[in-house]
Chain A
Amino acid sequence: MKISHDEVVKVAALARLNLSEEKIELFGVQFNDILDYIHTLNQVETNAVEPLYSPVTHSTVFRDDVVRKDYDRDALLANAPENDGQFFVVPRIVG
């Protein structure tokens, strides 16, 4: 299976990236190399194998529903590229 130019463009849109034509070409070639290598996984028989998604056994951790205030608004807004002192400011979404 080869990844086409159009597929690289489609994935870039899903990943919210803008790629130059040059970068699309480069990534296309590199992805095919890397995926050829990844496809060696198909040599491994895994039909009856349960996937392992995390090395620890997760259990749901419950805690009391207590209201806490860890940080104040100013501290959380301080790193925002744009804020109005109360909220994050984003580009207009609805026309």
Chain B
Amino acid sequence: MIEICTETLASIRRRLAAGELSAEEVVRACLERIDTLEPTVHAFITRMDEQALAQARGMDAAGRGPDVPRTHPLWGVPVAIKDVLSSKGVRTTCGSRMLADYVPCFDAVAVEKLKDAGAIILGKLNMDEFAMGSSTENSAFGPTRNPWNLDKVPGGSSGGSAAAVAAHMAFGALGTDTGGSIRQPASFCGLVGLKPTYGRVSRYGLVAYASSLDQIGPMCRTVEDAAILLKVIAGHDARDSTSVDAPVPDYPAMLAERFDLSGLTVGLPGEYWGEGVDAEVVTACREAITAAERLGAKCVPVSLPHTAHAVAAYYIVAMAEASSNLARFDGIRYGFRDGQARELIEMYRSTRSQGFGEEVQRRIMLGTFALSSGYYDAYYKKAAQVRRLVQQDFLRAFDQCDVIGGPVAPTTAFGLGEKIDDPLTMYLTDIFTNPLNLAGLPGLSLPVGLAKDSGLPVGLQIIGPNFSEGLILQVAYIMERNLPVLSMPAGVEQNRS
């Protein structure tokens, strides 16, 4: 059955559409794989085995199940979703004790679109609580382990999504990215992870962390797979007023429209390639850039001078928005309540103190402080001004180049427990991913090989102007075919069934 699981999403959907495999066979293969690996990897918060099998059987029995024709883009393809996306009738915890028993009565738009496309959802994936973290260690349901090395974190906050796809438990997953939460775990687990342009994918039903930064995107094993998933979930939605009313290109078809990188200019920001980046990461990314040059790309130096200040601006904006968004958890309409508290304010306080984990409390506190009377201009407004400068840096850089390339993160996956007691050090790992969320830009993490010392995957970040996902995917697709192919993740290989 492992043979089925090792196929790409693109290939499995072709075989399903052709009737070579039944949806049930493919779902069973994934469930077997999950049974084998889940005890060590712990990618899932909630498994949906029964629903997935029932849906598959219904689809196989033409005319009896949900009426989804085999021509639909994801007919019978098993995928999984980060547990921050609302799923009708299936608990949606956000990795928090606060929502441990919360069962939404609606689907997030991205989830609805997956279902409409014929996908089968295998379950809800682990994450840092409310997407606040870079390691998936802040989950109330315990940490996820990196399939490449079980002593390492998978990255975060979409660590469950990354681990599930890297371990071949699912053919693709949805993650969310507020400051790097798709790209950094994709980089740590050797996946293609795409954060779309802000507004490309509807956020309706995504439990909000920082609303001006959050975006949903695909995490897959190949560029083509990511293109297929993005096409399914992208598009305008009247229920999200920040979703942009722009046509959705046929991303998978666009991949066949370009054969090399001639005529493409890649900007290399000095700030992303200098001090503070591990040598093995620089080496792996440089080799990928050299490959791009061989394929016809022209590389030019560019400058993003406010990079050094982006993390500080990002965390103020993110924490301020978080403190406001998470005010909704009051123990009244949904979620945990401390039933012992007799007075209203005390009920709020004891409910929130028991329901939220430490990192969430820290961010709510800092956000509340930054927005409090007398400090607003010094922190929130200042951060928003620096945010404008970060955006202008990118706009200027794109006058000189088509895409920008650099490492996704300064290191490969770090050890479990290594940074969890030092929040500031953890925040600083986001230095190359935060700026895109501030500016709203799309960025893709492309696996470029294994680092020579740690033996762990390295991701190259390909950044483009707003709504250039098609170009980014084309560039990544051409590079992918000229870069080392990753093996089965070393940490779970011995568990092959």
Q: Taking the complex as formed, is A58 at the interface, i.e. its CB lies under 8 A from any CB of chain B? A: yes
Q: Taking A58-B241, A78-B103 as contacts, is the C-beta distance between A51 and B385 under 8 angstroms?
A: yes
- Contacting residues, chain A, for B238 (C-beta < 8 A): 61, 63
Contacting residue for A54 out of B242, B313, B364, B365, CB 8 A:
B242
User: Shortest CB–CB separation between residue A89 and chain B, in angstroms?
Assistant: 9
Contact residues, B308-362 vs A (CB, 8 A)? 308-309, 311-313, 315-316, 323, 327, 330-337, 339, 341-345, 347-350, 352-353, 356, 358, 361-362
Contact residues, A58-95 vs B (CB, 8 A)? 58, 61, 63, 70-71, 75-76, 78-82, 88, 90-93
User: Shortest CB–CB separation between residue A33 and chain B, in angstroms?
Assistant: 5
- Contacting residues, chain B, for A14 (C-beta < 8 A): 368, 372
Q: Taking A34-B423, A71-B105, A81-B331 as contacts, is the C-beta distance between A15 and B365 under 8 angstroms?
A: yes
- Contacting residues, chain B, for A78 (C-beta < 8 A): 103, 105
Contacting residue for A18 out of B103, B308, B350, CB 8 A:
B350
Contacting residue for B212 out of A19, A46, A53, A82, CB 8 A:
A53
- Contacting residues, chain A, for B379 (C-beta < 8 A): 38
Docked pose: A54 CA to B342 CA in angstroms: 40
Q: Flag if A44 contacts B388 (CB, 8 Å).
A: no
- Contacting residues, chain B, for A23 (C-beta < 8 A): 358, 361
- Contacting residues, chain A, for B343 (C-beta < 8 A): 91-92
Interface of A is mostly: loop
Contacting residue for A49 out of B361, B366, B389, B423, CB 8 A:
B389
Q: Flag if A11 contacts B212 (CB, 8 Å).
A: no
Docked pose: A12 CA to B345 CA in angstroms: 12
Contacting residue for A71 out of B106, B306, B423, CB 8 A:
B106
Q: Flag if A51 contacts B103 (CB, 8 Å).
A: no
Per-residue contact bits, chain A 1-42, to B (CB 8 Å; 1 contact, 0 not): 001000110011011111100010001001101100110111
Contact-residue bracket for chain A: 35 or more
User: Shortest CB–CB separation between residue A32 and chain B, in angstroms?
Assistant: 10
Interface of B is mostly: helix
User: Which of A52, A53, A70 lies at the interface centre, i.e. has the most chain B CB atoms within 10 A of its CB?
Assistant: A52
Q: Taking A15-B364, A51-B381, A55-B391 as contacts, is the C-beta distance between A76 and B105 under 8 angstroms?
A: yes
* Chain B residue at minimum C-beta to C-beta distance from A46: B385
Q: Flag if B353 contacts A38 (CB, 8 Å).
A: no
* Chain B residue at minimum C-beta to C-beta distance from A52: B388
- Contacting residues, chain B, for A3 (C-beta < 8 A): 369
Docked pose: A71 CA to B362 CA in angstroms: 35
Docked pose: A75 CA to B103 CA in angstroms: 10
| Contacts A46-B385, A75-B105 known; 9 new A-B pairs at CB < 8 A | A41-B312, A41-B383, A44-B306, A49-B389, A56-B199, A76-B333, A80-B333, A81-B336, A92-B342
The 30 sampled A-B contact pairs (Cβ below 8 Å) are A3-B369, A7-B369, A14-B368, A15-B364, A16-B345, A17-B356, A18-B353, A19-B353, A27-B361, A41-B309, A41-B312, A44-B309, A44-B386, A46-B385, A49-B389, A52-B384, A52-B385, A52-B387, A52-B438, A54-B242, A56-B199, A71-B106, A79-B334, A80-B332, A82-B339, A88-B332, A90-B347, A91-B341, A91-B343, A93-B344
